Amino acid sequence: MAKRDFLKLSDLTVEELSALFHRTKVLKEARTERRVIQTLLGRTLVMIFEKSSTRTRLSFEAAMAQLGGHAINLPITESQLGRGESLADTARVVSGYADAIMFRTFADERIAELAKHATVPVINGLTDGGHPVQLLADLFTMLEHFPKLEGLKVAFVGDGASNMGESWVEASQLFKFDLRIAAPEGYRPKAKAKILEPKAAVEGCDVVTTDVWTSMGQEKEKEARLKAFAGYIVDPALMSRAAPHAIVLHCLPAHRGEEIAHEVLEGPQSVVWAEAENRMHVQKALLERLILDATPALPKRVG
C-alpha cells in the first residue's frame, strides 16, 4: 500500500481514529499486564528534532522499543540539516534507513516539504500549526472517562491561536463535541470556534484543558502574554463552575501558577499524568497503523 502521513488529525478518518483508540486500549492493557507485543520487530523510526522535547521523544522511543523496534534521535544541531542540507535530500536519505519519520519543527511548510519527498510515513511530532499526536492522547484519555466523545462539553482556556488550540478545534469538528475557547483578543484560533469568557466557557463542562501561555520561540513575548492572559488561569474557583465529574487535561510542561494552579494540577480532577503516559500508548497504535500498512506483504517462501 502507498504510504500515509499523519500531519494532522484529519489525515485519518473518524472510523480509523476510533479503531486506533480501540487498539490503544489493547496495547495499554498489554503493557499493564506485562505482556510483550512485538509487532514492529526490526522496524526503525527516525526522530528529527528542531524543537526541544521531553514527552515526544521519550514516548516515541519507548513505543518503538516496547513493540520490538528501534528509534533513532536526530537533533538538527547534530545533523547536516543544521549545516544547510535540504529537507528534500534528508527525506530521501532517511527513507532508505527508516520505516517512518517523526519530525518536530516550527512552520507547517517544513513538515509538508519533508513528507513530500519521503517515501515512508511522516508523523507530525509538533509544528506551529498543530500537535495531532498530543490530541490523540487527549482524546483517548477522555474516552477512558466518558463513553463517547460526541456531545461532550470541552473548554480550552488560554492561547487559542496556539498549535494546541488549533488542534482542539480540528478534533471538535471531527468528533462533534461542544468546544468552547476562552482566549483574549489576538490569541484566538484561525478556524471558526465558539469564543467565550473563561467562566462562561467552563460552565457545566465535562473537560477543561489548557496549555502554557508562552510556547517555544515566544520567549520574547512573555511579559506581554502574562498581561494578556491575566484572569485565564485554571484555578479552583474556575473549576468550581465545571460539572462535578469534570476532568482536567494539560499537555505539559506546566507553569504552575500561570495557566494552571498547583491545586488543580495535583487535584482529584486532574488526569494529566495518565494523559502523559497515554502519549506512548496511542503512538504505538499509530506507528503500527502507518508502518505496517505501508509495508508490502512479503512473498510466500518457496521450497
CA–CA separation, 11 and 31 (whole Å): 27
What's residue 294's pLDDT?
A: 78
Residues of the chain with CATH 3.40.50.1370: 9-131+279-294, 145-270
Whether the CA torsion 17, 4, 282, 298 is positive or negative: it is positive
Among candidates 202, 252, 205, 204, which has minimal Cα distance to 232? 202
- DSSP structure class, residue 53: -
Burial (CB count within 10 angstroms: exposed 0-12, middle 13-18, buried 19+), residue 9: buried
Which of the residues in the chain have pLDDT under 50? 299-303
Cβ proximity of 214 and 225 under 8 Å: yes
251 is catalytic: yes
Helix (H) or strand (E) holding 77, with range, is none
235 is catalytic: no
Among candidates 60, 74, 119, which has minimal Cα distance to 282? 60
- Give the tens place of pLDDT for each residue, 125-161: 999 999 999 999 999 999 999 999 999 999 999 999 9
Cβ proximity of 131 and 279 under 8 Å: no
92 is catalytic: no
Among candidates 104, 150, 156, which has minimal Cα distance to 130? 104
What's residue 301's pLDDT?
A: 47
- Catalytic residue among 66, 134, 269, 283, which? 134
Three-class DSSP category at 194: strand
- Catalytic residue among 225, 279, 281, 289, which? 279
- Catalytic residue among 43, 55, 57, 104, which? 104
Using CA atoms, how far residue 85 sits from 21, 73, 90, 127, 280, in Å, is 37, 18, 7, 20, 31
131 is catalytic: yes
What's residue 216's pLDDT?
A: 67
279 is catalytic: yes
9-131+279-294: what CATH class? alpha beta
| Phi, psi angle pair for 153, to nearest 5° | -105, 120
Q: How many helices (H) and strands (E) does the chain have?
A: 11, 9
Three-class DSSP category at 105: coil
How many beta carbons lie within 10 A of that of residue 256, not counting itself? 14
CA–CA separation, 303 and 298 (whole Å): 15
CA–CA separation, 285 and 225 (whole Å): 37
- Catalytic residue among 43, 55, 131, 180, which? 131
- Catalytic residue among 251, 281, 283, 289, which? 251
- DSSP structure class, residue 186: T
CA–CA separation, 151 and 186 (whole Å): 28
pTM of the predicted model as reported, rounded to 2 decimal places: 0.95
Using CA atoms, how far residue 234 sits from 69, 80, 224, 240, 263, in Å, is 39, 42, 19, 10, 10
- Catalytic residue among 211, 225, 269, 283, which? 211
43 is catalytic: no
What's residue 37's pLDDT?
A: 97
In CATH terms, the fold of domain 145-270 is Rossmann fold (3.40.50)
What's residue 303's pLDDT?
A: 34
Using CA atoms of 25, 29, 30, 32 in order, give the dihedral in degrees to the nearest 10.
140
